[in-house]
Every structure is written in structure tokens, then in C-alpha cells.
Amino acid sequence: MLRFVTTNAGKVREAREYLDEEVTRLDFDYREVQADDLATVAADGARKAYEHAGEPVFVDDAGLFVDAFDGFPGPYSSYVEDTVGVERLWRLTEPEDDHGAAFRGVVAYCDGEEFAASPEPVDRDRRGQDQDADTRATATTDDQVADGDHPVKIFEGYVPGTIVPPRGEGGFGYDPIFEYDGRTFAEMSPEEKNAVSHRGKALAEFAEWYENADR
């Protein structure tokens, strides 16, 4: 059994589409580290959750990166959803010329074991375009192994889109204002969103590694 440490039922639904193994939600309220990259936050969360649960766990940390705001809210997306709100974030972007944005997501897995050779912990679609993120994710994992901490395996996903006035009833969070290929994520079924989303890409890589790796 795999424990998904999250408060978000929408994330659990999306993860179950990918993993053959039973996924159950673990409600563990840990204090997130303050960091401006998702991989560091997710890796720290996975390690704390593993120390708490003593069994294999994964966490997912995601954020909406708005081009006109130099990537804000990014790692602060949860706080901004709670304070500013999704509709007001759209209103703030409306006067800007550039309505581009991206969702980025990181899945971090920890079972207390060191990992055998495995695929690179990066989104292959982004290789070469996002060198900083690639380097950070790898460095984070290596550093933790070197420090003697529990190793954490990182998988990243990314999807570009456009911020639009809210449309659609599905999904969660910022989905109603994030348009991809003519439809918002809230207008897509979970399967359609998974096929293109940041989380879908990270989960697909995680599932492939989890089911094939010599752990």
C-alpha cells in the first residue's frame, strides 16, 4: 500500500488513475519548509511523512506560475488561493499584456531505502529547457543521500497554459482559470486533465519507476 500525504482529495483521485498499487490518503499535518522551489518543499515533506508513518509515502507539491508576475504565486499558490482567491488572481492578471502561465508539480517518494539505478528524476519533456529545475531536483536528492538522511526520489511535471476568466465545474484549485488548448482544466474530465497536466506527467514517471524499479 502506498500512502499519499495530502489534504487534497482531488490529488488522490488523480493519483489513483496511475498506480496499480492501492493508494490511501494519509492525513499528516507537517510544517512545510519555506523554500522557493517545489522540489525542496516536497522532498522535505516526504521525509517527514516517512519518519511519521514508517511506511512508503509520497507527497505532491504543485503551484501556478504566472508569467506576468515572474512566476508568482508559484510555491505560495496555496496561501494565495486562501487569501486572494482564484477569481481575484484572474482579475489581477487581466490588465497585463501577457496571460501566459504554467502549472508545475513535483511528486516526492520516500520509503527509507536508498534507490537503485532509475530514470532521471526530471520531466523529460522539459530537459534542456529548464536546466535550473533539473539541477536543483537532482542536487536535492543527492544532497540528502550524502547527508545520511532518508533518500527521496523526485519526479517533476510541467504544463504551459493561459489565465482566463473562470469556466467549468470540474477539477479543483486554479483549474477554472487555467486554459490549455481551448478548454480550462475545470472543463476537462479527470482523465483528460491527467493526460496533459503537470501532475499527470509527474505521476506517470513515478508509476513507471515504482512498478519497474529494483527498490
**What is the CA angle 190-175-66, rounded to 5?**
135
CB of residue 99 vs ligand ITT: minimum separation in angstroms?
A: 16
CA distance 173 to 161: 15
Select from 6, 104, 122, 10 the least CA-distant residue to 59. Answer: 6
Among 8, 118, 138, 162, binds ligand ITT (CB under 6 A): 8
Selected range binding ligand ITT among 55-63, 111-119, 143-151, 207-215, rule: CB under 6 A: 55-63
Q: Give the torsion sign (CA, 160, 162, 163, 167).
A: negative
Given candidates 15, 39, 62, 66, which one binds ligand ITT under the rule CB under 6 A? 62
From 58-66, 87-95, 120-128, 138-146, span contacting ligand ITT (CB under 6 A)? 58-66
81 part of the interface to ligand ITT, by CB under 6 A: yes
d(CA 89, CA 54): 39
Among the listed residues 134, 170, 138, 167, the one whose alpha carbon sits nearest the alpha carbon of residue 152: 138
For the question of residue 61 being annotated catalytic, the response is yes
Question: Pick from 44, 111, 123, 175: which binds ligand ITT (CB under 6 A)?
Answer: 175
Q: Which of 37, 44, 60, 61 is catalytic?
A: 61
What's the rounded Cα separation, in Å, for the pair 161 and 123? 17
The DSSP code for 78 is H
Number of residues near ligand ITT (by CB under 6 A): 21
- For residue 201, give the amino acid letter: K
For ligand ITT, the binding residue among 56, 63, 121, 151 (CB under 6 A) is 63
Q: What cell numbers appear for 174 in the block?
A: 486554479
Q: Which of 40, 77, 184, 194 binds ligand ITT (CB under 6 A)?
A: 77
Enumerate the active-site residues: 61
Contact footprint for ligand ITT (CB under 6 A): 6-8, 11, 60-64, 77-78, 81, 103, 171-175, 185, 197, 199
